[in-house]
Homo-oligomer: A and B are copies of this chain.
Amino acid sequence: MVRAKEDVGRVLHALADPTRRSIVERLARGPLSVSALAGPLGVTLTAVNQHLHVLEKCRLVRTEKTGRVRSCRIEAAGFGVLTSWVDAQRSIWEARLDRLGDILNEEEK
């Protein structure tokens, strides 16, 4: 995946906003329409729409319009980008700690 670098940034930026995170958390429970999402959030439909655009762009959410209702559901791809990045960082620093351990063991001999 060539775009990984920008993708992580997008996903993190998307999830950094509490309103968007709340949208994601509610969609994890099941699909919802735009108005259903807006209700408990205490923001306008327009605001929700803007958030949905952001969430769609980084593939945390997928939406589909049927008639006049847009149905929103969670998407796995965005989360995958995020966990890949975290795992990558972890393995880099764990590898380093391993090498450090090896060196210390060497010296014990």
Q: Which residues of A line the B interface, CB within 8 A?
A: 8-9, 12-13, 15-16, 18, 21, 24-25, 27-30, 74, 76, 79, 82-83, 86, 89-90, 92-93, 96
Residues of B within 8 A of A74 (CB): 89, 93
The complex places the Cα of A70 from the Cα of B27 at a distance, in Å, of 43
Q: Which one of B12, B21, B29, B86 lies within 8 Å of A92 (CB-CB)?
A: B29
B89 and A28 contact, CB distance less than 8 A: yes
Q: Which interface residue of A8, A12, A74, A96 has the most chain B CB atoms within 10 A?
A: A12
Chain B contacts for A93, CB-based, 8 A: 27-29, 74
A86 touches B90 (CB 8 A): no
